[in-house]
């Protein structure tokens, strides 16, 4: 199970694949807003153990999504800020000399390169991470920001039911302060509103004050409860 697989069905649909660049870690992604049953989670963890992974990570989970994992034995790996935008007052700033266009296959390498500069080793995307972000929701949008035909930023946005998600935002460090992040966020929010979303969620590390300040400036508000990435490590000889 080294590629990304989908197991179980209906509300218990979950996706399993290797964590970004580390073949010993599995990423177990439940359907957003639909935590699995204890039986389905047990089935997934057993499948991950049988595939030879040493540990399991979840994506960032909301407070209501966490109990079934914590009761199973998962622990908190890292807590994150969760912010929401109500889509009433959208940023309309544009970045000078910057083109925002649809992301293409040829953009993947420069996108991953700048992502590696924007995030630390644990959080940076490899190809699987980027694909997971794009396929985590039924609908998604992938846009890149270009200056003189150079890809200097990107976002991945998605939606499920009437809720939007800003899955990823990254700007090359050499182009900070030029309004590119604001323009990308505005593009994502406008797309979500056109698609009928009632609000948009985004998360960021608690230590990433730059991103947190940007989202607050653009009209996001902190949710009363944040998110958490959870992990589960297999003990030697464990049957999961």
pLDDT digits (tens, 9 = 90+) for 59-91: 889 899 999 999 999 999 999 999 999 999 998
pLDDT in tens, 162-217: 999 999 999 999 999 999 999 999 999 999 999 999 999 999 998 889 999 999 99
Domains: count for the chain: 2
Q: Is the pTM of this model over 0.85?
A: no
What's the mean pLDDT in 141-163? Answer: 96
User: Is the pLDDT at 17 greater than 90, yes or no?
Assistant: no
Are 25 and 117 contained in the same domain?
A: no
Residue 154: which domain range? Answer: 87-197
Q: Is residue 111 part of a domain?
A: yes
In this predicted structure, which of 3-7, 22-26, 36-40, 209-213 has the lowest mean pLDDT?
Answer: 3-7
Write the DSSP string, 179-194: SHHHHHHHHHHHHHHH
* Alpha carbons 172 and 192: distance in angstroms, whole number: 24
Are 164 and 97 contained in the same domain?
A: yes
pLDDT value of position 86: 97
Chain centroid to CA 56: 16
Q: What is the CATH number of the domain that holds 102?
A: 3.40.630.30
pLDDT value of position 132: 83
- In terms of Cβ atoms closer than 10 Å to its own Cβ (0-12, 13-18, 19+), residue 107 is middle
The percent of residues in the chain predicted with pLDDT above 90, rounded, is: 72
Are 42 and 61 contained in the same domain?
A: yes
């Amino acid at each position: 199970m080294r590629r990304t697989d989908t197991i179980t069905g209906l509300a218990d649909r979950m996706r399993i694949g290797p964590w970004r660049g580390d073949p010993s870690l599995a990423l177990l992604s439940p359907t957003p807003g639909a935590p699995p049953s204890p039986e389905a989670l047990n089935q997934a963890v057993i499948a991950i153990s049988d595939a030879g992974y040493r540990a399991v990570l979840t994506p960032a989970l909301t407070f209501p999504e966490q109990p079934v994992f914590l009761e199973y034995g998962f622990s908190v790996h890292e807590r994150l800020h969760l912010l929401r935008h109500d889509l009433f007052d959208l940023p309309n700033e544009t970045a000078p000399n910057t083109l925002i266009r649809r992301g293409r296959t040829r953009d993947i390498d420069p996108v991953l390169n700048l992502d590696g500069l924007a995030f630390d080793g644990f959080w940076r995307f490899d190809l699987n991470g980027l694909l997971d972000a794009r396929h985590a929701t039924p609908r998604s949008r992938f846009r890149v920001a270009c200056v003189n035909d150079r890809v200097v930023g990107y976002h991945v946005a998605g939606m499920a039911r009437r809720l939007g998600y800003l899955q990823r935002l990254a700007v090359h460090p050499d182009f900070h302060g030029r309004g590119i992040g604001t323009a990308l966020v505005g593009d994502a929010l406008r797309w979500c509103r056109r698609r009928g979303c009632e609000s948009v969620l985004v998360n960021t590390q608690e230590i990433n004050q730059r991103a947190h300040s940007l989202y607050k400036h653009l009209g996001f508000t902190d949710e009363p409860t944040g998110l958490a990435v959870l992990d589960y490590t297999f003990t030697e000889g464990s049957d999961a």
